[in-house]
Copies of this chain bind each other. A is one copy, B any other.
Amino acid sequence: MRLIFIGFGTVGQGLAELLLKKKDELFSKYGIDYSVVGIADKLKGSILDPQGIDLAAALKVVQSGGYLYELSSKKFEGEALEMITAVDAEVMFEATYTDIKTGEPATSHIRNALERNMNVVTTNKGPLALYYQELAELAREKKVKFLFEGTVMSGTPVLNLLRETLAGSTVKEVKGILNGTTNYILTRMEEGLSYDDALKKAQELGYAEAVPDADVLGWDALAKVTILAKVIFGAKERPFDFPCEGITGISAADIFEAKSRNKRFKLIGKIWREGSITKASVGPEEVDLSHPLAGIMGATNAITITSYELGDVTVVGPGAGKFETGFSMLVDFINIARE
Contact = CB atoms under 8 A, between A and B. Distances in A.
Nearest to A333: B168
A297 B164 CA distance: 28
A22 interface: yes
Interface string A309-339: 1111111111000011001001100110010
A30 B30 CA distance: 25
Contacts of A108: none
Interface in A136-167: 149, 155-157, 160-161, 164-167
Chain A residues touching B, range:
35 or more
A166 B332 CA distance: 10
B331 A157 contact: no
Nearest to A330: B168
Nearest to A311: B318
Given A169-B327, A316-B292, A316-B316, A310 B156 contact: yes
A135 to B, nearest CB: 20
B168 A157 contact: no
For the complex of A and B, the 10 pairs showing the least CB-CB separation, nearest first, are A157-B165, A313-B317, A160-B165, A314-B316, A309-B327, A164-B164, A295-B295, A167-B334, A168-B330, A155-B310
20 contacts: A18-B309, A22-B168, A25-B168, A155-B310, A156-B310, A160-B164, A160-B165, A161-B161, A164-B164, A164-B335, A166-B331, A168-B330, A292-B295, A309-B327, A310-B317, A311-B317, A313-B317, A313-B318, A314-B314, A315-B315
Interface of A: 18, 22, 25-26, 30, 149, 155-157, 160-161, 164-169, 290, 292, 295, 297, 309-318, 323-324, 327, 330-331, 334-335, 338
Given A157-B161, A314-B315, 5 more contacts: A161-B161, A169-B331, A314-B314, A314-B317, A315-B315
